[in-house]
């Protein structure tokens, strides 16, 4: 019975730490590049504008990779860096207009 209680407390602690993680610090790897959006979707750690910027970056990255450009790959960057990159790119595009 005691081991069951310890297991329950351990699960709750792991769940709480996973829910409180800052999604901006999540690093994109080859292993999680296809599923990292699912892992941060329910975290509520990103503002609406940050979600939009992240989705825009991922769409731009997918299109670039579709034509053979690898420079927009999210691998090796954090979610915060992706958001920052998209924010800079949109500012550059707005300045060019």
Domain boundaries, the chain: 23-96
pLDDT value at position 17? 44
pLDDT value at position 18? 47
pLDDT value at position 65? 77
pTM across the whole model: 0.72
pLDDT value at position 8? 47
Per-residue pLDDT tens digits for 11-65: 544 444 444 578 889 899 989 888 888 878 777 788 989 999 999 999 998 888 7
Give the angle 81-85-87 at the CA atoms, nearest 5°.
115
Annotate the chain with DSSP letters as a single string: -HHHHHHHHHHHHHHHHHHHS-GGGPBP-TTTTTTHHHHHHTT--S-HHHHHHHHHHHHHHHHHHHTT--TT--TT-BHHHHHHHHHHHHHHHHHH-
pLDDT value at position 88? 96
pLDDT value at position 19? 47
């Amino acid at each position: 019975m005691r081991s069951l209680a310890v297991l329950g407390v351990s699960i709750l602690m792991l769940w709480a730490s996973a829910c409180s993680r800052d999604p901006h610090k999540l690093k994109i790897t080859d292993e999680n590049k296809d599923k990292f959006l699912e892992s941060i979707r329910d975290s509520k750690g990103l503002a609406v504008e940050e979600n939009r910027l992240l989705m825009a970056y991922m769409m731009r990255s997918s299109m670039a990779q579709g034509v053979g450009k690898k420079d927009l790959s999210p691998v090796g960057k954090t979610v915060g860096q992706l958001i920052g990159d998209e924010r800079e790119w949109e500012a550059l595009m707005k300045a060019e207009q």
